[in-house]
A and B are shown apart, each in its own frame.
Chain A
């Protein structure tokens, strides 16, 4: 079955440093979505990427979708303590079967040291 790998598993950064998490799927994706989960919370949708090579920005967050639609990255510029949490990528496969189940990576847990 489809697998989504995400690295690194943990990242500790000093406040103000940049942060990047990488996501790689074993199969071509229809789209990829990114979620943030705060400690004790539930996943909160950040963004969806659909097109090959797509780049989207949300303030200090930059999301990229690879040309082959198998990998993606999330980059945060100048981290703040409010960025703390676990960032998950989740892929929707090209199945054509009408199922839109998300396959999540294991997430990257970000800690920001003030």
Chain B
């Protein structure tokens, strides 16, 4: 079956602009996670959805970052007033129920802020 997909694969934007990154989880997976991976680092947790609600958003760095999952499937990570420090690969993962199930990662979106 299809895995987690993310679009776009690459996004180049200018400082101060707004961007949206999309994640399509594996069908039937109720749990969805966003991570951010900087060069040479491990993925860093941003936010976790169980269904439509954000069950844990403790990893969002500041209020410029926001994520939604209105129908409990596709999720969008939104970044306002982008800064050069936001440049990273944004990874989405999903798991079956969000208990201690395996998290399956998508290919990521490489965001570059000029």
Contact = CB atoms under 8 A, between A and B. Distances in A.
Contacts of B35: 102, 104
Interface residues of B, number: 27
10 contacts: A31-B100, A45-B105, A48-B100, A88-B42, A98-B55, A99-B48, A99-B56, A99-B58, A100-B31, A100-B48
Name which of A30, A45, A101, A107 has the most chain B CB atoms within 10 A of its CB: A101
Nearest to A86: B42
B99 interface: yes
A41 B106 CA distance: 9
A104 B43 contact: yes
A75 interface: no
A107 B33 contact: no
A59 interface: no
A84 B35 CA distance: 23
Interface in A49-104: 50, 88, 90, 92, 97-104
Given A97-B56, A98-B56, 11 more contacts: A31-B100, A90-B43, A99-B58, A100-B98, A100-B99, A101-B45, A101-B48, A101-B56, A104-B35, A104-B43, A106-B41
Interface residues of A, number: 27
B52 interface: no
Contacts, number: 67
A105 B41 CA distance: 8
B55 A42 contact: no
Given A99-B55, A106-B40, A44 B45 contact: no
A103 B45 CA distance: 7
A44 B105 contact: yes
Nearest to A100: B98
Contacts of A104: 35, 42-44
B95 interface: yes
A45 B103 contact: yes
B95 A100 contact: yes
A43 interface: yes
Given A90-B42, A100-B95, A106-B42, A50 B105 contact: no
